[in-house]
Amino acid sequence: MTDLNWQAVALGAVSFLIIGLFHPIVIKAEYHFGKRCWPAFALLGAAFLTLALLIRQTFWAVVAALIAFSCFWSIKELFEQERRVRRGWFPANPKRQK
């Protein structure tokens, strides 16, 4: 039992949580700001990627890299979310101008 790589299991769980958290973040970001907030995701992604390169502990470096690439993927998803809203799959924000 001590030979098992529990760190890998923990990283799998962290990946699952990060992906699960970013899904509603993208939906809310698109609802409130539209796709024009994509630079915020790019900056956060770059910051976490830099952090991943600087952190010495592998576990935390991987967590930072997972967050970074989730931010980068979220940029694509913002544009996809806009299409989903146009199709009527998600509600549009009536207070936000198009």
Domain positions in the chain: 15-86
CA distance 47 to 64: 9
pLDDT in tens, 36-87: 999 999 999 999 999 999 999 999 999 999 999 999 999 999 999 999 999 9
Alpha-carbon radius of gyration of the chain: 16
pLDDT in tens, 1-43: 678 889 999 999 999 999 999 999 999 999 999 999 999 999 9
pTM of the model: 0.90
